Copies of this chain bind each other. A is one copy, B any other.
Amino acid sequence: MKLIVLRNNLKSGLSAVERAVTENSALPILKNVLIKTFNNRIKLVGTNLELGISCLVSGKIIEEGEVNVPFGVLYGIINNIDSEKVSLESEKNNLHIKTDNYNAVIQGVSSEEFPIIPKIENTEYNLELNGEVLKNSLLKVSSSVQISEIRPEISGVLFDFQITILKIAATDSFRLSEVTLINNQYTTNLRKGFKVIIPLKTIQELIRIIPDDKQVTIQIDPNQILFKNEDVEIISRLIDGNYPDYEQIIPKEFGLEVQINKGHALNAIKLVSNFSGKGNDILLKIADGKKAVEIYSSNQYLGENKYLIPAKIKGDNNGIVVFNWRYLLDGLKIMDSEEIIFGMNGESKPATIKPANNQSYFYILMPIKNS
């Protein structure tokens, strides 16, 4: 293998595959990145066996071939190199890197030892959508995924392919986010409904890597899912298990609907949370003759504070509801709208945050029970 590549192209390619490379694995080969010529471009591949990322970058191919070397040292070099162009050349298993005044040899291992990146067996199931639409949808649900793996089936994001819509959802059992895409937002040859659960790490990589301005193709087989465009392929295992039937907890109507300004509410919650204790509890109640929401928190050692947010209120004043303020913030942050609607049904029933002018997504959170 012999090639010349722009340092910035190589750097962004390596950055794309970075998180699929595993520094602390029992299998040392997983620390390596595979570099190979492919269709007159340069393919970079990293895998941790659960997630594989490959990225194509352009360059001048002088001689075809492949080599695999430790990712960390190569990335360190490419990040620090001050030359616009870099020459890469393999010699047996080693990689030579050259610029005008710099020379490096990185020791690699035989290409045969590099793990095979799995392929989708059944390419029948295809779905294509805009990168930005996919990314925005994933951003709206990713904060609700259960971080730990106590219940593996909710440690990922649900893709619920229905006949005419695609629902994307996540929950950690304290809150739930759901986005609905309708079939004019994607093209597909799917003819029957089915569900898959995609690991959080894969979702985070998609958010990081998928470019906004390109179409993304999704292919699925029973064990794996592939997201690809002409430059990047991300293949991931799926999580085994049945996603909980969350539809039943989605409130259909609300005893109380509060419309507030998102930015105002974000500031107020951050401010008032300064007195909140380890349980992150913060109290909401209707105040000021139904013209405002009062947010309150107190702490026996520190003191107490409250904030009045002007609001449009519909329905009955149904007392004080206690929330985890971090969950409130997470819900507000994913709203695209200036004005949001906060629907509640009393102190023990799930509440909903949604944009004032859009029905395509929402965030549900459970109140903290008053003790």
Contact = CB atoms under 8 A, between A and B. Distances in A.
Nearest to A102: B307
B270 A80 contact: yes
B73 A274 contact: yes
Nearest to A307: B102
A3 interface: no
Nearest to A292: B101
A367 interface: no
Nearest to A271: B80
A275 B73 contact: yes
A278 B26 CA distance: 21
Contact of A101 (B80, B81, B104, B308): B308
Total copies of the chain: 2
Contacts of A77: 271, 274, 305
Interface string A250-283: 0000000000000010011011001100000000
B80 A302 contact: no
Contacts of A301: 107
A310 B102 CA distance: 12
A81 B270 CA distance: 9
Interface in A188-220: none
A77 B103 CA distance: 54
Contacts of A271: 77, 80-82, 102
A335 B71 CA distance: 33
Given A81-B271, A274-B77, A103 B305 contact: yes
The 4 closest A-B pairs by CB, nearest first: A104-B305, A76-B274, A80-B271, A101-B308
Interface of A: 70, 73, 76-77, 80-82, 94, 97, 101-107, 264, 267-268, 270-271, 274-275, 292, 301-310
11 contacts: A70-B302, A80-B267, A80-B270, A80-B271, A81-B271, A97-B305, A101-B310, A102-B307, A103-B305, A104-B304, A105-B304
